[in-house]
Amino acid sequence: MDSLTQIVLGAACGEVVAGKKLGNRAMLWGAIGGTIPDLDVFATFFTDEIAATSFHRGFMHSFLFAALAPWALARLTIWFYGEGVYKNRAYKAVAMLLWLLFYVGAAAGINFIPVLMGEGLNWYILTPTLVLGAWFVWKLWNDYWRRDLSLVQAPYSSWVALFFWSIFTHPILDCFTSWGTQIWRPFSDLRVQWCTVSVVDPVATVPFLLALLIAARFAREQPWRARWNYIGLGWFCAYLCVYTIWHKVQVNRIFETSLAQKNISYTRYYTNPTIFNNILWMGVAEGDTAFYFGQYGFNDREPAFTRISTIPKNHQLLDQVAPDSRAGYFLRWFSNGFYSVQPYRGDTLQVNDLRFGLMGDTLVNDNYVFPFLVFKNEKSEWDVHQNNRRRESIDTQKSAFGDMWRRIKGVE
């Protein structure tokens, strides 16, 4: 899921393991542990797009990494506190800057959501964001910069356990989303994807975050600290493991019924919630020569995928790209075979990963969420480049998100 959710989950795990020993530092280091697997995104600065996309949610999201990394991280953390690095003013300045940049980025993303949905800047979201930001700055200044930090003492085993649970839960959570997580690396490149929750779901994250912030207000010895942390964990686990799975079962049944009513033959299908919610879902079924795509919202007037679009496979267009070539294998492996092909410009092809659906429930404006461009590079070898950030106008994006928001609310 998104970085904020992984940070909150990691912080909550850190509190469970070492909250009574470390206080809020347990949350802090748990948050860091929960972030570490996603540092694999920096591979994009050191390698090409195929390798970087394959590496993301790869080894650093595997169970083997979760088993090995905590031992080294625990040693590093003990050195960090033992040498007094955490009291160094230069380090504290850099740490404060990084936390502030993270908050500004997260706040900007949250406030941009209603803009994309066509609602405009929402003061009900902006005001709490500004208030929380002011509080965050004050806490950093008063409780971090000006404060002479106390000595941290915790056994090596506690640090190992803290980092293990904060890292181990990260790939488990990612398995619930649609990208696919290579938890068995380096022994297998199988990508596990249960597809029950969106990569960003405020209903899952925001209550969890609020409960964690309340817990942080209590001293480590007070029982209500642990209680609030478990309340947040309980909410998150119930939402993830009960509510979203129940929705998944319902959507699968409705999609199967809708396909049967429209006399559509298929070999397999795939369902996934749309971004930011668990109410509006998409489904794509594979036939012999085409895929069949539709959307269903739990607030729709009738329990059915009322409009199902036909998307020609056109897989023959990709025949010129050898299946055992680097680009050919990557496209089939990454999309799990749920892809369509269409001409783009000249010899360049566009391959649409249909697991991520479309912005809306029609094919208007070629609005695929996650397309790739397949082209020959300067070495005359087939290469791949993501085209999911196309040069669309803000009005087009707002219209697409506005349509999605109306579907979520039940306005078809």
Least confident of 70-84, 248-262, 291-305, 364-378: 364-378
pLDDT at 101: 87
Shared domain check, 314 and 231? no
Find the mean pLDDT for residues 43-64.
94
Asked whether residue 225 falls in the same domain as residue 279, the answer is no
pLDDT of amino acid 368:
87
Residues 291 and 392 both lie in one domain: yes
What would the mean pLDDT of 88-93 be, rounded to a whole number?
A: 90
- 94 CB burial (10 A radius; 0-12, 13-18, 19+): exposed
Domain annotation covers residue 250: no
Q: Where are the beta strands (DSSP E) in 45-161?
A: none
Per DSSP, the chain holds a count of helices (H) and strands (E) of: 12, 8
How far, in Å, are 160, 278, 295 from residue 25 at the CA level? Answer: 15, 33, 44
**What integer is the mean pLDDT of 325-338?**
95
pLDDT band at 397 (very low <50, low <70, confident <90, very high): low
- The CA-atom distances, in angstroms, between 132 and each of 32, 100, 126, 365 are 21, 12, 10, 39
pLDDT at 132: 86
Range of the domain at 93: 3-244
Which residue among 195, 216, 244 closes a domain?
244
108, part of any domain = yes
- Residue 256 resides in a domain: no
Top-confidence residue, 236 or 1: 236
* 140 domain residue, yes or no: yes
Mean pLDDT of the chain: 90
Domain identity same for 48 and 186: yes
What is the rounded distance in angstroms from the CA atom of residue 342 to the CA atom of residue 334?
Answer: 18
pLDDT of 412: 60
User: According to the model, what pLDDT value does residue 201 have?
Assistant: 95
DSSP letter for 278, please: S
- Does residue 54 sit in the same domain as residue 191? yes
pTM for the model stands at 0.91
Rounded to an integer, what distance in angstroms lies between the CA atom of residue 80 and that of residue 76?
6
Q: Is 136 domain-assigned?
A: yes
Given phi > 0 = left and psi -120 to 50 = alpha, else beta, which region is 155?
Answer: beta
Give burial (CB, 10 Å; 0-12/13-18/19+) of 86.
Answer: middle
Better-predicted residue by pLDDT, 227 or 397: 227
Highest mean pLDDT among 245-249, 347-351, 391-395: 245-249
Peptide bond between residue 371 and the one before it cis (omega within 30 degrees of 0): no
Instruction: Show which of 212, 244, 276 is a domain's final residue.
Output: 244
29-39: average pLDDT: 95
Residue 241 is given by DSSP the state: I
- Considering the domain architecture, whether residues 173 and 291 belong to the same structural domain is answered as no
Q: Are residues 238 and 266 in the same domain?
A: no
For residue 156, pLDDT beyond 60: yes
Same-domain check for residues 151 and 294: no
Tallying the residues shown for the chain, one arrives at 412
Predicted confidence at residue 185, as pLDDT, reads: 96
Q: Is residue 152 part of a domain?
A: yes
Q: What total number of domains does the chain contain?
A: 2
Mean pLDDT on 92-110: 85
Assess contact for 170 and 39: CB atoms under 8 A.
Answer: no
Q: Are residues 139 and 63 in the same domain?
A: yes
pLDDT in tens, 355-396: 998 877 767 667 888 899 999 988 888 999 987 555 555 566
Residue 249 belongs to a domain = no
Q: How confident is the model at residue 110 (pLDDT cuts 50, 70, 90)?
A: confident
Pair (180, 310) in one structural domain = no
Do 75 and 209 lie in one domain? The reply is yes
Res 120 pLDDT > 70: no
Per-residue pLDDT tens digits for 288-324:
999 999 999 999 989 999 999 999 999 999 999 999 8
In a domain, 255, yes or no: no
Mean pLDDT (whole number) for 8-37: 95
- One domain for residues 228 and 293: no
